[in-house]
A and B are shown apart, each in its own frame.
Chain A
């Protein structure tokens, strides 16, 4: 059996990254993700890797661009305002098809906001976030174990699609301390036939996102689009007691985790509720959500914001079923009991039995 350790969610991210062969970490301090640069500064040297505390979020994402352009596995992390600064670089990574892992242990906004858990960055994460027509694969863990597992997966997906992959957590996901099973990383990392290593005995290679010739950029954008379409097969979600549910809840990350307890509490009272928890929020599990809506006739979305993912749920349902929403702006973490009450309200409003 793999070794089990008791660590914070942020540390589990680092352990997953190091297990997956990440040798380059570039970051900048911002709460609530400081455990990540701190852990990397201590442990990167042990594996012969590079840790740089950059002068800014902007510099750190561009250091990632430089290291990853040579084929190395590289990561950066930050929290909401810092992720906003990284968006320029993320757009360039997408445009020049350079893989990399970007962790957003998001905090609350807008502006300086606060350091409470929040899901206010859902739009920014799933809609590209920077300039241009692009997408980033977004994984939304809900436990420290998932932080570890999904970080390893993030590096594989980044390489597979030559695209940045984002891990979207929040203050709760990053700071909760719980057991993590350190499963060994066994996948073989393939050599990259596009990486910049010096044009020795081969034609030179160029990594760029500028396409000026007539039609070139059109073709490039269509090619990227097709790649984003192919990513649909990476869709992942958790089905928690949803198969026989009369009311299916949709929630991700920290709220998804809290709602599981709410579901158990309501089930004990005889309310047949279940949960669909998207693990990839881009690509979004449209099909699973659609099927749940068709089966039950209505859905309920819960988020730590005033309504972002609910738009994706409504897009998936395409008006075929009503979608109720309960949103909690940042400031406090809802308890399972509070959320159970909100779900029960919808249960009664919809006349469910």
Chain B
């Protein structure tokens, strides 16, 4: 038997934690898209070199704890008020990158006034809107974006249009405002959609850094826990039901239109 040969293999690091993320493991449920969207944003904060000049605005919902994961300055906003808090922060720190990260309960229900007026004033902020068609943190109640017929803890018979109205399409609504500069809806349920989403997010960051104006990206997300589904089933719902109700695409891009 020949003695074992010592070999060294030079390994190249191809995947790492973004520098603008802490080492804290996510508290998010398996299959939830928050983790994917957090990471996508953190990668871009790294890529643009914004870690030292970011002010994040956390909102009330599952993602309120984003300051546990983002190694940047963060201020926590009351429920729905993140666009107003971001307005104050950005006006006071125009050189910094200011983003809000809001769920559909936060942005599309209690915070409708704040998001509409921040968009219409053309605040130079980047809004990440995560639409999973449900109030996640409070245990799965009906949201303004809940699908017709969708069973939640406050729509046990399924959402009824006659009493609860139809789901609100926020991206389309904001795109009607002359003050909004960039509005897109994306999904991260597969690689193809993920790549498109990443492009949209970059554009929404560019719009702020270049001083163009208000930028908004709606991410369709799954919520396996509150949808009472496996992550695979939840992803299928995003692909089949969510995208049908909330079509993907760029709804406004004032630079592309010009």
Show the binding face of A for B, using Cβ within 8 Å.
23-24, 26, 50, 52, 54-56, 58-60, 62-72, 74, 88-89, 92, 96, 196-201, 204-210
With A55-B114, A199-B51, A206-B67 given, is the CB distance from A66 to B72 under 8 Å? no
Interface hit among B74-82, B139-147, B162-170, B189-197:
B74-82
The answer to whether A59 touches B74, judged by C-beta atoms less than 8 angstroms apart, is no
Q: How far, in whole Å, are A207 and B73 apart by their CA atoms in the complex?
A: 8
Binding site of B, secondary structure by majority: helix, strand, loop or mixed? helix
The answer to whether B117 touches A197, judged by C-beta atoms less than 8 angstroms apart, is no
Residues from chain A with a CB closer than 8 A to the CB of B70 are 204
The answer to whether B76 touches A210, judged by C-beta atoms less than 8 angstroms apart, is yes
Please give the distance in Å from B23's CB to the nearest CB on chain A.
Answer: 13
> B87, B90, B113: which has the most chain A beta carbons within 10 Å?
B87
* CB of B205 within 8 Å of the partner chain: no
The answer to whether B96 touches A208, judged by C-beta atoms less than 8 angstroms apart, is no
Q: B121-135 toward A: CB 8 Å interface, digit per residue (1/0)?
A: 100000000000000
The answer to whether A210 touches B64, judged by C-beta atoms less than 8 angstroms apart, is yes
Residues from chain B with a CB closer than 8 A to the CB of A197 are 73, 93, 96
With A63-B88, A65-B85, A198-B93 given, is the CB distance from A205 to B73 under 8 Å? yes
Query: Among B64, B71, B81, B85, which residue has its beta carbon within 8 angstroms of that of A69?
Result: B85
Q: How far, in whole Å, are A178 and B137 apart by their CA atoms in the complex?
A: 54
Residues from chain A with a CB closer than 8 A to the CB of B234 are none
Q: B142-161 toward A: CB 8 Å interface, digit per residue (1/0)?
A: 00000000000000000000
Please give the distance in Å from B82's CB to the nearest CB on chain A.
Answer: 8
Residues from chain A with a CB closer than 8 A to the CB of B51 are 199
The answer to whether B91 touches A50, judged by C-beta atoms less than 8 angstroms apart, is yes
With A54-B84, A210-B64 given, is the CB distance from A199 to B72 under 8 Å? yes
Please give the distance in Å from A233's CB to the nearest CB on chain B.
Answer: 30
Residues from chain A with a CB closer than 8 A to the CB of B78 are 62, 65, 88-89, 92
Q: How far, in whole Å, are A59 and B77 apart by their CA atoms in the complex?
A: 11
Q: How far, in whole Å, are A198 and B54 apart by their CA atoms in the complex?
A: 5
Residues from chain B with a CB closer than 8 A to the CB of A74 are 88, 92
Please give the distance in Å from B7's CB to the nearest CB on chain A.
Answer: 42
The answer to whether A58 touches B92, judged by C-beta atoms less than 8 angstroms apart, is no
* CB of B223 within 8 Å of the partner chain: no
* CB of B184 within 8 Å of the partner chain: no
The answer to whether A65 touches B73, judged by C-beta atoms less than 8 angstroms apart, is no
Question: 21 A-B residue contacts at CB 8 Å?
Answer: A26-B88, A58-B114, A62-B81, A62-B88, A63-B87, A65-B78, A67-B89, A67-B92, A68-B88, A89-B78, A92-B76, A196-B89, A198-B53, A198-B55, A198-B73, A199-B51, A200-B53, A206-B73, A207-B74, A208-B58, A208-B74
The answer to whether B54 touches A208, judged by C-beta atoms less than 8 angstroms apart, is no
Q: How far, in whole Å, are A216 and B73 apart by their CA atoms in the complex?
A: 21
Q: How far, in whole Å, are A67 and B114 apart by their CA atoms in the complex?
A: 16
The answer to whether B96 touches A63, judged by C-beta atoms less than 8 angstroms apart, is no
* CB of B57 within 8 Å of the partner chain: yes
Query: Among A50, A59, A69, A88, which residue has its beta carbon within 8 angstroms of that of B75?
Result: A69
Residues from chain B with a CB closer than 8 A to the CB of A207 are 74-76
With A197-B73, A198-B55, A207-B74 given, is the CB distance from A67 to B117 under 8 Å? no
Query: Among A70, A205, A209, A210, which residue has its beta carbon within 8 angstroms of that of B92?
Result: A70
Please give the distance in Å from A157's CB to the nearest CB on chain B.
Answer: 20
Residues from chain B with a CB closer than 8 A to the CB of A208 are 58, 67, 74-76
Residues from chain B with a CB closer than 8 A to the CB of A96 are 75-76
The answer to whether B117 touches A201, judged by C-beta atoms less than 8 angstroms apart, is no
Please give the distance in Å from B89's CB to the nearest CB on chain A.
Answer: 4
* CB of B211 within 8 Å of the partner chain: no
* CB of B52 within 8 Å of the partner chain: yes
CB closest chain-B residue, reference A207: B75
CB closest chain-A residue, reference B22: A204
Residues from chain A with a CB closer than 8 A to the CB of B175 are none
Q: B105-127 toward A: CB 8 Å interface, digit per residue (1/0)?
A: 00000000110110001000000
Residues from chain B with a CB closer than 8 A to the CB of A64 are 88
With A69-B75, A208-B67 given, is the CB distance from A62 to B52 under 8 Å? no
* CB of B86 within 8 Å of the partner chain: yes
Residues from chain B with a CB closer than 8 A to the CB of A26 are 88
Please give the distance in Å from A250's CB to the nearest CB on chain B.
Answer: 36
Residues from chain A with a CB closer than 8 A to the CB of B95 are 198
The answer to whether A69 touches B91, judged by C-beta atoms less than 8 angstroms apart, is no
The answer to whether A70 touches B55, judged by C-beta atoms less than 8 angstroms apart, is yes
The answer to whether B86 touches A66, judged by C-beta atoms less than 8 angstroms apart, is yes
> B89, B91, B114: which has the most chain A beta carbons within 10 Å?
B91
> B65, B90, B92, B114: which has the most chain A beta carbons within 10 Å?
B92
